[in-house]
Structure 1
């Protein structure tokens, strides 16, 4: 049965003997929940819930397990994640040799001239952390073009064949906001950064494997097994097309809130597209643009030079006047604005842009900064003052913490992933993963936010532990905060009568176990639109 057929044959689902934490201030705890189709009919006790039972009812005994509003990933590249399930995975490599060995394995099973696509490499974790070059790839892949995305998505590593196929030579000029690395001979080294990646013919994923429905279905099931029922997807037209096709065929069991890249904004505005176009399973919402790059690629735009690279302050991928023009057009067109900003200088510039919009009278414009990694102290209170959502990804913190110490020094590192400072200042928080940059797993994200530790429980007290937040606050950012960030709080983010039938049941009570154990917690059951889409 497809999702469409199950929605048309709405039945009641009674969840009883549960430990519900609803995130609804009017009724924060409950024992039972009754759903009919994609709507919550009742929240309360077991005895009353039984009165809703009819011949078509299905009952689930939760055996006292913790139940929550299902998770939302507020920042993901979903079709890129789906593709990554089949591409060369370089995550976890400890040196260049290990990365090359994995590429060599794929070359052995790939015909000549066929593109080899992969990613996840992180030279900052290698024993020799210098950026790799084309010559190393040429040895293992002389006859196949190879394109490998860095873990942060802001640099790619190519071999000579891929450079030649893209017609990138020593005479090629990097586009504004982009960098081509060169070797000692003045030839492209094989590393492209930021907007220079567009020389390959489009955004990340445009030159990857075809978006086959079976790959997307595999990714959907992976998401449900992690308790997810909604994503905010930041990708391009190919992704929108593929996900809409799934929806039209009744196969989309994950709610999708989609953005468009800024180069499509003028076209969208001219067509009269506005946020909310679509339905409760797939809708258009926002425009995504970039203020800067990433820390790992040393392209995050900083007020002061990098500690370990004193000649660098990062890259202003988009100048402030262009950001303002695009953001103003989006606000005029009733399209949400999501701007990537990682470095403290980039965050300041984006907040300045948003302040100008508020001053111009765009009080109702919904504005988000994506990542908010390295804050300047003077900007913390501006999020609340300007009603700007901080869309953050907690799993970046354990990945980047030691690199951040080296790149920025302790004074600036202490303002990195400043969850607690932002929360205390009243900033609206929405959490996601940035998958496939980080794993698609909200429970691991909650662990990172609550402990400031990596999977090995390091550092012992947490990295700048004053920035820890409670597991409950982290859950709220993955649920109600995420819903509020796209105007969905009336229908999603908490368990209350009239809201969507999206629930996650956990095997462990993450509010009672030690915070360091949350990373090992697992999902028992996920319900999306009133249908059980995953059961352990």
Structure 2
């Protein structure tokens, strides 16, 4: 491996000083197998030229660009593959960093593993007042039920423990955390949430959706130093996996302040397209000046709003029109009435904000489509409203996305993560409209692809692999899970680049390597367009560049 990377690494070493000073010059990255879209067409090129301002001058043949730009500095790309920077259309930036500082249970194979991980973490961090973390998934543990507070108590009972489910829509608390939150058998379910209780009416330790706030509000808030540490960790992780821009699905007031600060200081190494969480609080403040279309040379914007229709499928909080196939006593949860939801949509749209609504279940998706249908037609067309996830959609509602001009913002790895339980939840008929990428593409919808990190990995090549194969990394199922809904490699690449940029009104500045756009690009170790699809998840990012500056490299 080292011998094949050596020319590239030497090139990195030789050019690393170019951006330390203030000298102005054009740069040409030569000797690459480059790909970029131009409209619907995928083009290939040998070299990329960009100016000192970080804008693309041209792509083309090395010799032709050398003649056109005789004073340019040249960097040898070592024959590697160069792509536009990946855009994750749905992530949670600070949460990604926070997740790396907390207890993670994603890799636990069963409840006993999880209990051991909790106990080990408690021993390693004896001064932590709370044990915080998550990423647990009871479906992977084959429990056939949610875990309980008592199953944490047996390993940690003297300190509060609060662990979010992998989808972020349920939390697992021990008895100490329940006590501090004031949750007892007489505590009623909050609107849009559920306190799971046993046959005797006692809280089990599982809180779903809005009920999670009862614990969240008693957890000590992160300090400014902790927030900065989380952002630094998140930016590093995004650079490592080649994500040069992310749509942050739920920006708080603290996060907004931090993103602006980092943009002012030139410390953002990934562009952030922000969605204000909700239509009160921060929204009431920032909307007085109208949408923040761009800030800090396109490194930050705040021109969208994030709303929630329902919960998640794994915790049975997603709102379904008919009962869950594996739990006939519940339909899940709609968080708002139709009129209340429309009022929020209309409030944001009337002030010129794109409205992006989390909707997982078919009832959630229908409520939001109905709400968007009540807006003036011009509002949806110009603002490009989105449904985040669009995960389980009634078959007769899929065409409404195109008719109403609503963009489906979807996360391919959700399908391969959920395939172990999704059909159990919704049955053989409703699954036909679930994770239905091909159905959306066939009708001409532009899908914005993301990961929903840290719920899933931010690695876009894991997402592209899932989109193309509909398989896990072990190659299962052999023929792909509902493989008729798979994307082609080109479609998946476009979904993570140009179409994600379009979903943020940024297609004229990001998403392709066309003249005048920002020189956001990555160099990877394999040719994604000419390799077995089953191996795409193995792709490794060698370099990440944002605005013509190298923000990550593999150095041997």
What interval of TM-score do these two structures reach, taking the shorter chain for normalisation?
Answer: over 0.9
**TM alignment of 1:76-475, pairs within 5 A:** 76-111=91-126, 114-201=129-216, 211-235=226-250, 236-262=252-278, 263-264=280-281, 267-268=284-285, 271-279=288-296, 280-359=298-377, 363-475=381-493
Spell out, residue by residue over 1:430-488, the C-alpha distance to the aligned partner (whole angstroms, 9 max, x if none): 00110110011000100000000011100001001100110110010100011100111
Report what 1:14 is aligned to.
28
For the residue of structure 2 that corresponds to 1:346, the secondary structure is helix
For the residue of structure 1 that corresponds to 2:424, the secondary structure is helix
- Kindly report the root-mean-square deviation, in angstroms, between the aligned alpha carbons of the 2 structures: 2.4
Q: Are the aligned partners of 2:139 and 2:420 in contact in 1 as well (CA < 8 Å)?
A: no
| Residues 503-512 or 26-35, more deviating | 26-35
Is 1:73 equivalent to 2:91 in the alignment?
no
- Inter-partner Cα distance in structure 2 for 1:219 and 1:42: 31
Change (3 A) 1:52 1:95: same
- Inter-partner Cα distance in structure 2 for 1:253 and 1:6: 15
For the residue of structure 2 that corresponds to 1:405, the secondary structure is helix
- Inter-partner Cα distance in structure 2 for 1:395 and 1:436: 12
Spell out, residue by residue over 1:173-214, the C-alpha distance to the aligned partner (whole angstroms, 9 max, x if none): 322111111233322221111111122245999569963434
Instruction: State the 1:54 CA deviation.
Output: 6.4
Give 5+ residue unaligned stretches, structure 1.
none
Change (3 A) 1:475 1:362: closer
Spell out, residue by residue over 1:301-356, the C-alpha distance to the aligned partner (whole angstroms, 9 max, x if none): 11221111111111101222112111111111011101000111111111111111
Q: Are the aligned partners of 1:150 and 1:156 in contact in 2 as well (CA < 8 Å)?
A: yes
Change (3 A) 1:29 1:6: same
Q: Are the aligned partners of 2:94 and 2:227 in contact in 1 as well (CA < 8 Å)?
A: no
Q: Are the aligned partners of 2:380 and 2:404 in contact in 1 as well (CA < 8 Å)?
A: no
For the residue of structure 2 that corresponds to 1:364, the secondary structure is helix
| Residues 436-445 or 362-371, more deviating | 362-371
Q: Are the aligned partners of 1:447 and 1:516 in contact in 2 as well (CA < 8 Å)?
A: yes
Q: Are the aligned partners of 1:16 and 1:31 in contact in 2 as well (CA < 8 Å)?
A: yes
TM-score, structure 2 normalization: 0.91
- Inter-partner Cα distance in structure 2 for 1:143 and 1:208: 24
For the residue of structure 1 that corresponds to 2:245, the secondary structure is strand
For the residue of structure 2 that corresponds to 1:129, the secondary structure is coil
Change (3 A) 1:48 1:206: farther
Q: Are the aligned partners of 1:113 and 1:143 in contact in 2 as well (CA < 8 Å)?
A: no
| Aligned partner of 2:58 among 24, 31, 42 | 42
Instruction: State the 1:359 CA deviation.
Output: 4.5
For the residue of structure 1 that corresponds to 2:126, the secondary structure is coil
| Residues 259-268 or 521-530, more deviating | 259-268
- Inter-partner Cα distance in structure 2 for 1:218 and 1:286: 25
Q: Are the aligned partners of 1:79 and 1:211 in contact in 2 as well (CA < 8 Å)?
A: no
Instruction: State the 1:129 CA deviation.
Output: 3.0
Change (3 A) 1:9 1:340: farther
| Residues 115-124 or 191-200, more deviating | 191-200
TM-score, structure 1 normalization: 0.94
Q: Are the aligned partners of 2:174 and 2:205 in contact in 1 as well (CA < 8 Å)?
A: yes
Spell out, residue by residue over 1:205-259, the C-alpha distance to the aligned partner (whole angstroms, 9 max, x if none): 9569963434422321221111111011123223223333333332111111111
- Inter-partner Cα distance in structure 1 for 2:225 and 2:115: 24
| Residues 267-276 or 462-471, more deviating | 267-276
Instruction: State the 1:6 CA deviation.
Output: 5.9
Instruction: State the 1:385 CA deviation.
Output: 1.2
Spell out, residue by residue over 1:96-154, the C-alpha distance to the aligned partner (whole angstroms, 9 max, x if none): 11111101011112336711111110001113231011111112111211110000000
Q: Are the aligned partners of 1:275 and 1:334 in contact in 2 as well (CA < 8 Å)?
A: no
- Inter-partner Cα distance in structure 1 for 2:117 and 2:552: 32
Q: Are the aligned partners of 1:265 and 1:287 in contact in 2 as well (CA < 8 Å)?
A: no
| Residues 178-187 or 99-108, more deviating | 178-187
Change (3 A) 1:265 1:221: closer
Q: Are the aligned partners of 2:377 and 2:404 in contact in 1 as well (CA < 8 Å)?
A: no
| Aligned partner of 2:46 among 17, 31, 47 | 31
Spell out, residue by residue over 1:368-389, the C-alpha distance to the aligned partner (whole angstroms, 9 max, x if none): 0000111211012111111111
- Inter-partner Cα distance in structure 2 for 1:176 and 1:162: 21
| Residues 232-241 or 40-49, more deviating | 232-241
Report what 1:533 is aligned to.
551
Report what 2:12 is aligned to.
none
For the residue of structure 2 that corresponds to 1:289, the secondary structure is strand
Instruction: State the 1:24 CA deviation.
Output: 1.1
Q: Are the aligned partners of 1:501 and 1:528 in contact in 2 as well (CA < 8 Å)?
A: yes
- Inter-partner Cα distance in structure 2 for 1:439 and 1:252: 20
Q: Are the aligned partners of 2:30 and 2:47 in contact in 1 as well (CA < 8 Å)?
A: yes
| Residues 262-271 or 152-161, more deviating | 262-271
